[in-house]
Amino acid sequence: MTAAHHWSDTASPAHTDTLVLDYLGALWAETDDLAPELRDELMSTVADYIATRRVAGEDDPAVILRRLGPPEGIAATVRRGRMPPHLRLPAAPRRVAAAPPAGYLEHSGVALLTAGAVVLPAVAPLAGMLLVSASPRWTAVQKSAGWVLAGVPVLLGLLIGLGGLAFHSIESVALAYLLLVAGPFIAGLTLMPGLSRRSVPR
């Protein structure tokens, strides 16, 4: 098998294209002084580059080859100890996993943070955040924000509430209850958009 034939097989979209075959043959001839491993890597990289561009919709091989530059230029760059930067293949599109519909876990978590906080302050929000933390529908940042929004007011409310009970202050107890409810409720509202998220955050 000749070198030109070997590398044209690697770039299957350009296999029958004379321009591409001639280009690869010229590049092979220009790099006969390179180490075999480096030469093979270069030929594979160039062939893959051409094939990827063809698959991406660039059907004119002449345009692709002009973008690559002359074979002697590529060979000279490799001799200087580096692969030409324009040979980097385009990054593969990031795959986003589809999220399953929000289920009992997610809805219960938000419900405990909102309505649950009114009925059972402190306890219900804690259970709600534990459910939220176990779900993949929210990012780590969103979960951390939920803990802060729900947890800080609850801790303040408990401290104020205990002080109010100790000093028989109705106003302090009322303020404590407001904090115990408002913080988790706000956290639930910030997490609610995650119930309709169409993809799983990575």
pLDDT of residue 93: 46
Mean pLDDT taken over the chain: 80
Residue by residue, DSSP assigns 171-194 as HHHHHHHHHHHHHHHHHHHHHGGG
Say which residue, 15 or 196, is predicted with more confidence.
196
Predicted confidence (pLDDT) per residue in 22-55, tens digit: 888 898 998 888 888 888 888 888 888 887 877 7
Instruction: Give yes or no for residue 6 having a pLDDT over 70.
Output: no
Question: What is the mean predicted confidence (pLDDT) over 134-148?
Answer: 90
The whole-angstrom separation of Cα 150 and Cα 141 is: 14
The whole-angstrom separation of Cα 108 and Cα 131 is: 7
Task: Tell me whether residue 33 is exposed, middle or buried, using C-beta atoms within 10 angstroms of its C-beta: 0 to 12, 13 to 18, 19 or more.
Answer: exposed
Predicted confidence (pLDDT) per residue in 46-68, tens digit: 888 887 877 766 667 778 888 88
Q: For the range 21-25, what are the long-range contacts, defined as Cβ-Cβ under 8 Å and sequence gap of 24 or more?
A: 23/65, 23/68, 23/71
- Domain residue spans in the chain? 3-87, 104-196
Report pTM.
0.50
Instruction: Give yes or no for residue 126 having a pLDDT over 50.
Output: yes
pLDDT of residue 13: 45
